[in-house]
Structure 1
């Protein structure tokens, strides 16, 4: 019971907490890729400040977005041809690109399933694809030029936006490769 002479000095904060721009663009990009379903090729995106993108595309409405909001611009024609590490080594981004993101599908199996695989890579992949405990996953790895990264993982067997996992180190090799592509010592 409240006494009549007592005032309620409670404070209600109705503001929306500011979201991390990298986390936000990673989620947006993962959902964009997810809308196209499964069994996709590897997809690559440049991460650019939305306001800078809008200045080069006058018809783009960016009203209501934060000044540090990022947009993902898909790099059409990126085709690693089965050698993703080599393709990532050849990437170089201009200074206007603040970061990049990569969406790639992978097959995950228990460690025991990787023992006694055939030496032929194609035969090994076929054996792993038939494994009863295999999981199909899609990784979305996003990094910024100054170092921050985020990784998202979606399982085909649990394919829902609210079931996407996230973490900074789910794919350390991909994080390192993407960061290397953003290094400043690459000639333009």
Structure 2
């Protein structure tokens, strides 16, 4: 599918998938991870000494993205609260976030209790529950990419992806770039 994408979208797909694999190396039940995305050519223009730390030829591709993990994220009780606190300087071309979620089939979701504690217990006990790691990348120019991995199929060759797999999260992350 990535062969049908524009060069910019393909670069975002590659970067987002690499970010998911990076976070996957930490194992499951990880904290939310946030990354800035910067064009590699811009990094090399201002810091050419970093060339040896980047993949060979990355600086020749004008769309290649370098991800930079953000430490010291603001305290937040919910993902929405964290996203509302994020802002990026103009030198950042995009952002990515990695979260883990529990999902159930739509018919089971309709039966979930509205009380948050009861809802969590419902999800944890549901026999069709799937644990999913979601990596979403967005660019200021509007491109999005989502990389998904389930705990049940936890391997690098089982990562799914697409530009609109998790549109709500992509829109919320894009708002941090405005």
Tell me the TM-score normalized by structure 2: 0.85
Q: Give the total of aligned pairs.
A: 166
Deviation, 1:53, is: 2.7
Deviations 1:82-118 (A, max 9, x none): 3111221221110110000010000000122224433
Cα gap change, 1:145 to 1:154, in 2 (>3 Å): same
Counterparts of residues 105-144 of structure 1 (less than 5 Å)? 105-144=100-139
Using CA pairs below 8 Å that are at least 6 residues apart, which structure has the higher relative contact order?
2
The answer to whether the Cα contact below 8 Å between 2:34 and 2:70 also exists between their aligned partners in 1 is yes
Q: Between Structure 1 and Structure 2, whose CA radius of gyration is higher?
A: 1
**Unaligned stretches of 5+ in structure 2?**
1-6
Q: How well do the aligned residues superpose, as a CA RMSD in angstroms?
A: 1.9
User: Which residue of 1 is the match for residue 17 of structure 2?
Assistant: 27
Higher share of residues assigned helix: 2
Runs (4+) off by over 4 Å: none
**Unaligned stretches of 5+ in structure 1?**
1-17, 184-188
Cα gap change, 1:168 to 1:93, in 2 (>3 Å): same
Which of 79, 86, 90 is the aligned partner of 2:85? 90
Which of 126, 130, 141 is the aligned partner of 1:146? 141
Tell me the TM-score normalized by structure 1: 0.81
